[in-house]
Amino acid sequence: MPIKLATWNINSVRLRMPLVEHFATRFQPDVICLQETKCRDGEFPSADFKRLGYPHVAINGQKGYHGVCIASRMPFDAIDKQEFCEKGDARHIAVTFAAGVAGRDPITVHNFYVPAGGDEPDRETNDKFAHKLDFLDEMAHWLGDGRAGGHAIVVGDLNVAPLENDVWNHKYMLKIVSHTPIETEKLKGVMETGPWVDAMRRFVPEQERLFTWWSYRSPDWATADKGRRLDHVWASEQLANSIRGIEVVKEARGWERPSDHVPVLVDIDH
């Protein structure tokens, strides 16, 4: 059964609901995973999603910060929220689709928003960076605890660009938060606990550049193309061969009042 899943750091779902509607109408994903929704559960525009054909919405929200959701055309069999680092932050939500709903087997979708980590890559002087590293450690332990044993997928803004061609300038970026060696090693460690398969790089070879984020600070982001791959799609080994394609919707960065991230589409047939 083919399904199309999207992951997108929307940077305020209420502010950018017109972009979500445009995207959903044009690309017709069956499941939409959003990060950085920036609103409490009761403020989430569920009615708008239902109007667009997504009656099933799982939300983990927070006032003004963070927040994740999964909106679906298909019903959920279960919803799970996991807290990390005892911060009370809304950074994870997961749903499970029963067998026959999104494929012949049950499938679990994990949607993450990993902390950005601030500006200074120093655990001792930057509490935000310390939090990010601790989050990745807990994420490794939690995701490695049998959660890659079936048909499962991890998506979201993981805020780390782990490979050389996941950034516009590898040498320069080694001292910039999101591509420092300690972050990239920790993210690779999270992936290895599954083990999880980097689905995006199955379709775009590691020697090719692959970006999903372009800074608001660049006056001409498209020409400069100083991007990073901060958004990821990982699959369990059982699900990996069922992923038929990946599309980074780069044009979304040029839409009116855009997020600094763009959607990633995943075609699954299992």
Q: How much is the pLDDT for 88?
A: 94
Confidence (pLDDT) at 129: 98
User: Cα dihedral sign for 24, 55, 153, 83?
Assistant: positive
Contact at 8 Å (CB) between 9 and 35?
A: yes
Q: Kindly provide the residue ranges of all beta strands, DSSP E only, lying in 114-221, ordered along the sequence.
A: 152-157, 196-198, 213-214
Dist CA 236 CA 40 (whole Å): 31
- The answer to whether the beta carbons of residues 187 and 136 sit under 8 Å apart is yes
Q: What is the pLDDT of residue 218?
A: 84
**pLDDT (tens digit, 9 = 90+) per residue, 31-41?**
999 999 999 99
Strands 243-248 and 196-198: unpaired
pLDDT at 270: 85
Q: Which two tokens stand for residue 52?
A: 């667009």
Give, in order, the Cα–Cα distances in Å from 169 to each of 66, 70, 115, 224: 28, 33, 22, 12
pLDDT, residue 110, reads 98
pLDDT at 184: 98
Q: Is 153 left (phi over 0), alpha (psi -120 to 50) or beta?
A: beta
What residues does 109 pair with on adjacent strands? 95, 153
What is the layout of strands, in order, in the sheet containing 243-248?
Answer: 56-60, 68-72, 31-35, 2-9, 264-269, 243-248
Q: Which residues pair with 248 in a beta bridge?
A: 264
Residue 103 has a pLDDT of 86
Spans of the chain, pLDDT less than 70: none
**Cα-to-chain-centroid distance, residue 37:** 12
Domains, the chain, ordered by start: 2-269 (3.60.10.10)
Instruction: Name the nearest CA neighbour of 29 among 269, 267, 270.
Output: 267
- DSSP assigned state of 173: H
Q: What are phi and psi of 59, to 5 degrees?
A: -125, 140
Question: What pLDDT is recorded for position 15?
Answer: 98
pTM, to two decimals: 0.98
Q: How many helices (H) and strands (E) does the chain have?
A: 8, 14
Strands (E), 91-177: 92-97, 107-113, 152-157
